[in-house]
Structure 1
Amino acid sequence: MSVIARQGFKYSIIGYLGFLLGTLSAIFIFPYNMEFYGKLRYIMPMAEIILPIVVFGLSYSNVKFFFSTKNDNKHQNLLSLSLIAVCINFLIFIAGFFIAAYFFPELKVTQLWKMKMMILPLVLVLGLSTVFNKYISNFKRIVVPNILDNVLPKIANLGAFFLFFFLAFPEKIALFFFFGMFVLGLIAYYIYTNKLEKFTPNFSTSYFKKDKLYKQIFNYSFYGFLGNIGTYIALRIDNVMIGDYLGFQENGVYSTLLAIISLISIPSMGLYAISAPLINKHLELKEYEELDVFHKKTSLTLFFLGLVLFSCICVGFPFLTSLMKNGELLKQAEPVIWILGISMLFDLATGFNGYVISLSKFYKFSTFVMVILAVVTIALNLYFIKNTNLGLMGIALATGISLTLYNIIKIIFNYVKFKVQPFTIEMIYASIIGSLGITVAVMLPDFKSNLINLFYKPAFVLILFLVGNHFLKIFPLEKYLNKEFIKSIFKF
């Protein structure tokens, strides 16, 4: 079995473990003190919104230009200069931040200013870690970075909360532990990079001055920065706006629902990360037919797995809420699950269309569209909050509409430029099975025990998918349910 399959499968397992840790914590632990949990939920998203300014797209340049720089044995040179550039960008941002506070005193009354001693250093640590993360993906190794990127933040949240609430440590000590976990993560990134290939820092700029390669890197990084900041705003602005306009309780409800439905997209993160170098190679060699085949296979895989999980979540969610603290609040917001879930499914069905654009010579278009997405998302959020009484459902609609429009634009662009598109007839077959499974499962009689209902209805959906897949041959399960593949998973 290929390294891609092994790494992707391990990545997904770790993703699910991280999901369980984060979701179970959000359901059973964090509600004990929503105010402190709200602070933790503010620190990380705010740091992530600032992060693209400091990284400036250099993490993506370490993937885009890895193929060419490695041929000249200058890939570590690129990594070294990227790390230095992140530090310089951070210092420039700090100077600009304090200058802005001097001329605009209203900045000093914001939560960002009050928590700057925690948020700003965290930005630098995350920036350096992000560069290492993307660099490591070139070696088709994504499992360890996934632990550091996906599991470590959840441990930081959980550990800080335990110190503050259950062990009665001062808030500053708990927040220091939170920050310290990310510092440990950065150290782990360096050690793992050095393990994959002896890292010898090289800060010479002569290679990049030749043929003005630095201009290509700067241009690509700049547009990557615009796209990245658009991405973070589009994905993180929900929690910020809910907290500002609807309250922390609603923000907790929305975050919990988002954590539950995000289960369907966990496999995509591993596959996208490991596929980026292969997509880049196909584009460099103009192997568009091979890229189209690869695109369709991965899109079908992601959509099929996502649809199975989405169907199980939909039929089991009402019974899950009855077993949860604050379950009634979650059940009242059930439409959020459907709206976000359907938009995420469409996103999975479109596959890595964003990677095709961002790794091609048309990367500027991807950046332009992402910035538009951020603006549209903010505008829609404001509209639904201020002009309707939809509450959290309005926030979900804003996200779903903007995400769907974004994917439609990318599909059309890729087909026009590369004759590449993700859809297959098998997706229609899978959709029919999923719709039938949800409909029948909802109509099945309910037992008095919600715990039994929670298991038996999703189990029915799973059986229906297995039977339907057996006859329609939608997804090749037999390739992944054999001894060879299982053994390969545990090879290190």
Structure 2
Amino acid sequence: MTSKISAKQAVLFTAINYIGVAIGVISTVLIYPLDKELLGIVRYVDAFAQLLFPIMVLGSTNALINFYPSLSQKLQEKLFSFSLLSIVKMAVLVAIVIALSSFYLDGEKFKYLLIAFPLGLFMAYVELYKRQATNLQKLSVPTFYEKIIPKLALPLVFILVLYGAVSTDSALGLYVVAYGVIMVLVGRYVFKHYRHKLFNSYEDLFEQLPKKNYYAYSLYSFAGSFGAFFAFRVDSLMIPEFISFDANGTYNIAVTLASTLAIPATGVFALYAPVIARLIKENAWGELNIKYKNVCKYLFFIGAFLFSCIMVGIEPLFLILPTYENLAPSLPVIYILGINVVINMSTGFNTEIISYSKYYRFNLIAILSLMVLNIVLNWYLLSQTDLGILGVAYATLISLTLFNLAKTLYIYKKMGLWPFDKSFVKMVAFFVVVVLLVFEIPLTNYSWFDLLYKVFLVVVIHLIALYKFQWVPEITDYLNKLKTKIVG
């Protein structure tokens, strides 16, 4: 496997993600606010599925990425085959546990858990196929299926419910079917580019890759993924319990819009994962540190640039829309979660560095600590204050900032890698000053004008500063090429 990231794959990956985001944003601001309770229920079921699928995967997807480069072609095939069968076995165990849980859960919760089971199974296989596609450096098509189909399916079922064509339960069923279609399409694509068969014996695989090492890594990865649910996704389960499905819908509107900032990071992390694994195995710390710094600067600039546009322009945009009254409660949550996303992006691929190093166990400690902190903060702010979903947003910001800080310091202490320099600090200070100054400019009575001139100010000021100070060489080079094409 080459260490060079395919530029075509990176561009396609990012483009597909943004197409999916565009569809999702349109749905979020025009369709979902019309029935926030239904959105809250869908995200509640989705949260159950996100809880189940790490159990079914049991760390096999991370193990596939971690051990794949060090194996021969035949053993690579066996590792993938073993992962396929492992999900089936774990799904059977999960089904048994769900059946037993019917004695303890009330009817509505058990119903949503049943609907979540096939959704979680489909997600598990989609995740495995995506990891194999990452090994093959053919991630764009699976990304297209995964990012576009749900974005089309969910607004469609919303429209069907809004017009009385289907019930809420039927809509949830259609949403699950959409993920089944994704699983089939992604699997078909991977098998088209990867000759594969199931094996009866895996003795030679585990002679070269000791079972103790495989299961130790897989279980640690599972614990991290399982803890990650409680660290990152537990909000969608807790908000309905303490407030309502409607409030869950309001919060998830904010989550959807804020998460658009992270699309460039998603592509970079996915495509760099095999490269990071190889560089660590080769002890190429100098090369890794350069990539670490460059990626952190690049992702911070992209994230902060997009967040600046959202922060100064989203309220004028909402004022233009017919759904403003339903969208307005999400505004303060969007600001808080947006800051959180930028902080997460600015620390680069610190999780991946730890995951593929001999210190991978620290990820488990960090995730479990984050899980406890996030749950405690959510419980306290939901039950002991009147902040509501704003309290959930604060809990997320506090816990994830501490989480990223801890990982960054740990990497520096153990591996001597540090992602920040003076130019990074200057860039952060500049962004903060500019966005606050433009944000504080009072709105006029003309929302279109407010939207255009505020976003225009932010874009022009940031691009001029970036070009003048050359904080991010990759983007400066791109601007120089663009300038040459236009002028020359």
Q: Aligned in 2, Cα 1:409/1:172: closer, same or farther, shift over 3 Å?
A: closer
- For residues 41-81 of structure 1, what are the alpha-carbon distances to aligned partners after superposition, in whole Å with 9 as ceiling and x for unaligned? 22212101111111101011110011012x35311111111
Question: CA offset at residue 357 of structure 1?
Answer: 0.5
Matched residue, 2:94:
93
Question: CA offset at residue 275 of structure 1?
Answer: 0.4
Give the TM-score normalised by the residue count of structure 1.
0.92
1:142 maps to a residue whose letter is: L
Question: CA offset at residue 236 of structure 1?
Answer: 1.2
Q: Aligned in 2, Cα 1:439/1:116: closer, same or farther, shift over 3 Å?
A: closer
Cα distance in 2 for partners of 1:391, 1:450 equals: 29
Cα distance in 1 for partners of 2:148, 2:200 equals: 32
Question: CA offset at residue 142 of structure 1?
Answer: 2.0
- Which stretches in structure 1 are left out of the alignment for 5+ residues? 485-492
Q: Aligned in 2, Cα 1:110/1:238: closer, same or farther, shift over 3 Å?
A: farther
Question: CA offset at residue 329 of structure 1?
Answer: 5.4
Pairing partner for 1:140 from 137, 142, 145: 137
Counterpart secondary structure, 2:196: coil
Question: CA offset at residue 358 of structure 1?
Answer: 0.8
Q: Aligned in 2, Cα 1:225/1:443: closer, same or farther, shift over 3 Å?
A: closer
Question: CA offset at residue 110 of structure 1?
Answer: 5.2
Between 258-267 and 54-63, report the one with greater CA deviation. Answer: 258-267
- For residues 342-386 of structure 1, what are the alpha-carbon distances to aligned partners after superposition, in whole Å with 9 as ceiling and x for unaligned? 222221111000111111111111112112211111110001111
Matched residue, 2:156:
159
Between 282-291 and 336-345, report the one with greater CA deviation. Answer: 336-345
2:70 maps to a residue whose letter is: S
Counterpart secondary structure, 1:362: coil
Contact 1:300 1:424 in 2 (8 A): no
| 1:445-460 mapped onto 2 (5 Å cutoff) | 446-460=443-457
Q: Does 1:419 align with 2:420?
A: no
- For residues 82-122 of structure 1, what are the alpha-carbon distances to aligned partners after superposition, in whole Å with 9 as ceiling and x for unaligned? 11110000101111222343xxx331x05341234422122
1:132 maps to a residue whose letter is: Y
Between 189-198 and 402-411, report the one with greater CA deviation. Answer: 189-198
Matched residue, 1:320:
317
1:276 maps to a residue whose letter is: A
Pairing partner for 2:402 from 390, 401, 405: 405
CA RMSD of aligned residues (A): 2.2
Question: CA offset at residue 444 of structure 1?
Answer: 4.2
Question: CA offset at residue 279 of structure 1?
Answer: 0.3
Contact 1:261 1:337 in 2 (8 A): yes
| 1:338-349 mapped onto 2 (5 Å cutoff) | 338-349=335-346
Q: Does 1:298 align with 2:310?
A: no
Question: CA offset at residue 428 of structure 1?
Answer: 2.1
Between 395-404 and 246-255, report the one with greater CA deviation. Answer: 246-255
1:479 maps to a residue whose letter is: D
Contact 1:349 1:423 in 2 (8 A): no
Question: CA offset at residue 298 of structure 1?
Answer: 0.6
Cα distance in 2 for partners of 1:443, 1:165 equals: 38
Question: CA offset at residue 247 of structure 1?
Answer: 1.6
Matched residue, 2:485:
none
Question: CA offset at residue 199 of structure 1?
Answer: 2.4
Contact 2:354 2:411 in 1 (8 A): yes
Cα distance in 2 for partners of 1:363, 1:155 equals: 37
Give the TM-score normalised by the residue count of structure 2.
0.92
Q: Does 1:127 align with 2:124?
A: yes
Counterpart secondary structure, 1:73: helix
1:30 maps to a residue whose letter is: Y
Cα distance in 1 for partners of 2:406, 2:107 equals: 36
Cα distance in 2 for partners of 1:233, 1:416 equals: 27
Give aligned pairs, total. 479
Counterpart secondary structure, 2:138: coil
Cα distance in 1 for partners of 2:142, 2:166 equals: 30
Cα distance in 2 for partners of 1:441, 1:315 equals: 7
Between 354-363 and 443-452, report the one with greater CA deviation. Answer: 443-452
**Identity across the alignment (%):** 28
Matched residue, 1:362:
359
Pairing partner for 1:106 from 100, 104, 108: 104
- Which stretches in structure 2 are left out of the alignment for 5+ residues? 483-488
Contact 1:7 1:140 in 2 (8 A): yes
Matched residue, 1:490:
none
Q: Does 1:480 align with 2:457?
A: no
Pairing partner for 2:29 from 27, 30, 33: 27
Matched residue, 1:46:
48
Cα distance in 2 for partners of 1:367, 1:325 equals: 45
Contact 1:133 1:145 in 2 (8 A): yes
Matched residue, 1:489:
none
Question: CA offset at residue 207 of structure 1?
Answer: 1.6
Question: CA offset at residue 15 of structure 1?
Answer: 1.5
Cα distance in 1 for partners of 2:107, 2:140 equals: 38
Question: CA offset at residue 330 of structure 1?
Answer: 4.2
